[in-house]
Structure 1
């Protein structure tokens, strides 16, 4: 069984856009096992103040994340790319177990190996409390519909 995760570097604009959408789709699945397979066995992350040192750690991180961030919906947008690196900006909406809603804004820098697995992920994120009526992401849980506006279209 191949461990490749196309598209593979070096990235073109089209392949970088595809890689970003595949990452968005994966995270919107909220399936830690599925999402963790996009990362190398020795992946290294910095997510806010948390550091992850391998794929098992990434999976555990995602399990904790989606247990806390309920009804999670994410939109990612390509910012830049070069060779085996991609930079994205994103925003996601979620609520906690008390019903408090947030929109979290972030930037990530990604680096990939030759097989298209992410070896490094650096994330900076800020949380903005919002009221339920301020939500912009109202599609059914799962993949964002193709016709749903992206970040720039929403003015985010």
Structure 2
């Protein structure tokens, strides 16, 4: 099943793809998110390697169990053909109530149907005070259209 926009990407279609990924991840629904990836998609997320939708669902289930109140913003960095590079930040709290902002970069490769076949993510976590939070929309919902992106927030 095709997942438009399809490669080769234009600047506009790459931005659409990035926003669609951000919106899906902000639902924190592992099954829904996994549908954007090929059946045999390969990931590197920090030092964890994942292959296939079943492992993606397991990985994301564990991730969002640990990273509570998760809110993500992605921004297009570069694109070429079937590849997109993004930078992102997300805020979350742990079970002890401590807040973090995680910053990272992802490199994506898509198949002809617009499904992501590869995802390579490098991520760093920074502890923040709750008063330093910037991502304040309703939980498990897309970022509102009028909410600032990473560049506007100085991130």
**TM-score greater than 0.5 by the shorter chain:** yes
What is the CA–CA distance in structure 1 between the aligned matches of 2:17 and 2:113, rounded to whole Å? Answer: 13
What is the CA–CA distance in structure 1 between the aligned matches of 2:107 and 2:120, rounded to whole Å? Answer: 5
Tell me which stretches of 4 or more aligned residues in structure 1 moved more than 3 Å.
none
User: SS of 2:4's equivalent?
Assistant: coil
What is the CA–CA distance in structure 2 between the aligned matches of 1:54 and 1:74, rounded to whole Å? Answer: 23
Q: Which runs of 5+ in 2 are unaligned?
A: none
The answer to whether structure 1 residue 50 and structure 2 residue 48 are counterparts is yes
Match in the other structure for 2:75: 77
What is the CA–CA distance in structure 2 between the aligned matches of 1:143 and 1:120, rounded to whole Å? Answer: 24
Q: How does 1:72-151 map to 2 (within 5 A)?
A: 72-141=70-139, 142-151=141-150
Count of aligned residue pairs for this structure pair? 154
Match in the other structure for 2:57: 59
TM-score for the superposition, normalised by structure 2: 0.99
Give the root-mean-square deviation of aligned CA atoms: 0.4
What is the CA–CA distance in structure 2 between the aligned matches of 1:120 and 1:28, rounded to whole Å? Answer: 20
User: SS of 2:150's equivalent?
Assistant: coil
**1:55, distance to aligned residue in structure 2 (A):** 1.1
User: SS of 2:152's equivalent?
Assistant: coil
Q: Which runs of 5+ in 1 are unaligned?
A: none
